[in-house]
Amino acid sequence: MNNHYWRIHSRPDGTDFSSALALVKEPLPDLGPGEIRIRNFMLSMDAGTRLWLTDREDGYQPPLPVGAPMTGLVVGEVIASRADGFAEGDLVRTFGMWGEFSQVDALMSGAMRLDPSVADKRAWLGPLGMNGWTALWGIEQTGAAKPDEKVLVSAAAGATGILAVQIAKLLGCEVWGIAGGAEKCRFLTKEIGIAGAVDYKAGRVGGQLDSACAGEGGGFDVFFDNVGGPVLDDVLTRMNHYGRIAVCGLLSDYGSGTRTAPREFDQILMRRLRVEGFFSPDFMDQGERLTAQLKHWHDAGQLTMPYDVTSGLENTLFAYAKLFTGGNIGKVIVEL
Ligand SMILES: NC(=O)c1ccc[n+]([C@@H]2O[C@H](COP(=O)([O-])OP(=O)(O)OC[C@H]3O[C@@H](n4cnc5c(N)ncnc54)[C@H](OP(=O)(O)O)[C@@H]3O)[C@@H](O)[C@H]2O)c1
């Protein structure tokens, strides 16, 4: 059986993904012990995978080798299994391949059988997926957000950010977002109902954040940061004493190979801040509990997620680039 999939040919430069990845066709190897073969229905586009495409050896996981298939989360149906607990016809989510099929070791790739009662299968890549887990963990555990505290989220109109702002709101916080463009800010305030949103593309973020800090409560108690870079400096000087910065991602550095080095680092001491990175594979063992909480909110209609869906494997790179140019609101998915 042949598989069409995206293979890494070289390290991408910025958002020029078409020079670095190529769609190839190859026969699938025989199924090994412990493996499952999946017909992919959906590919999840995740900004964090951009790091795996660099040659950085000091990241939170090793780079994907040149010549390897591009890896990412997928949802699909098991069409053959030599793994305990998985049978033909099962709907699963797993780290798989950007291809028509994924063939993976079920255990090593974190394959999970999905509850077929969830009508919208896209939710397994959004609110009930890794973005949901990350948003919940970052707000509740790392950020330790408490009712009535002021929470700020960057890349707030993206998949992880939209969930983070809503979870903070559900926990009773006053929530502010940073996003690129008036339409995204309007969406966050009018559709999601957060207290305010700052357009970082419209000018100085610091000045815009001052209006958020002018009200009751002063500055921010929690910053859920997806971006890093210069905006982090604007926020560091507007944090309340004993505030927490939950470092979820460093989007401003992913494509350029730069390193976030906050100029305002001293504010961590001056304001007695706690700054902590967190990484979803570290709390995989909590997945059942996190999914149950997210599913409760999802079933109650309390977690909105717009989906930005592109059709066709051949259009994958177009969808992927949106994450780095700001072309998406919500979760970017490729449907096959
Ligand atoms: N720690 C973890 O375990 C974990 C797990 C999942 C995701 N994450 C992190 O969560 C973040 C969001 O990932 P996602 O997959 O949910 O993507 P996403 O938020 O759906 O899309 C990325 C968004 O980030 C914004 N952006 C891109 N480049 C930017 C830049 N240079 N400066 C400022 N904003 C930029 C864009 O929106 P604008 O229009 O607003 O610019 C874009 O829409 C990433 O940092 C990712 O690494 C971390």
pLDDT of 257 over the 80 cut: no
Tens-place pLDDT, residues 170-183: 999 999 999 999 99
Question: Closest Cα partner for 213 from 144, 152, 123?
Answer: 152
Mean pLDDT of 210-218: 87
CB 161 within 8 A of CB 246: no
- 308 CA distance to ligand 1 centroid (A)? 14
Please provide the CATH number assigned to the domain covering 2-125+305-335: 3.90.180.10
Q: How far is the centre of ligand 1, averaged over its atoms, from the C-alpha of 2 (Å)?
A: 34
Q: Which residues of 125-145 are buried (b: 16+ CB within 10 A; e: fewer)?
A: bbbbbbbbbbbbbbbbebbeb
Helix (H) or strand (E) holding 81: strand 71-81
Q: Interior CA angle at 255 toward 253 and 258, to 5°?
A: 40
Choose one of 323, 325, 333, 334 to mutate for the ligand 1 pocket test, by most ligand atoms within 8 angstroms of C-beta: 323
* pLDDT (mean) for 77-103: 98
Domain parsing of the chain, residue ranges = 2-125+305-335, 130-281
Mean pLDDT confidence for 50-58? 92
Q: Is the CB of 48 under 6 A from ligand 1?
A: yes
| Distance from Cα 15 to the centre of ligand 1, integer Å | 14
Pick left, alpha or beta for residue 203 (phi over 0 → left; psi -120 to 50 → alpha; otherwise beta). left
What's the CA-to-centroid distance between 162 and ligand 1, angstroms? 11
Ligand 1 pocket residue status of 180, Cβ below 6 Å: yes
Q: State how far the Cα of 23 lies from the Cα of 1, in Å rounded to an integer.
A: 16
Do the beta carbons of residue 324 and residue 47 sit within 8 Å? yes
Evaluate if residue 204 carries a pLDDT over 90. Answer: no
User: 163 CB under 6 A from ligand 1?
Assistant: no
pTM tops 0.85, yes or no: yes
Q: What is the mean pLDDT of the chain?
A: 96
pLDDT tens for residues 260-280? Answer: 889 999 999 999 999 999 999
2-125+305-335 and 130-281 share one fold: no
Query: 130-281: which CATH number, 3.40.50.720, 3.30.870.10, 2.60.120.260, 3.20.20.80?
Result: 3.40.50.720
Contact 104, 185 (CB under 8 A): no
* C-alpha dihedral sign at 59, 61, 66, 69: negative
Backbone angles phi, psi at 317, to 5 degrees: -70, -30
75 has a pLDDT exceeding 90: yes
Phi-psi region of 85 (alpha: psi -120 to 50; beta: other; left: phi over 0): left
pLDDT 10s digits, 141-172: 999 999 999 999 999 999 999 999 999 999 99
d(CA 276, CA 260): 14
Q: How far is the CA of 256 from the centre of ligand 1 (A)?
A: 14
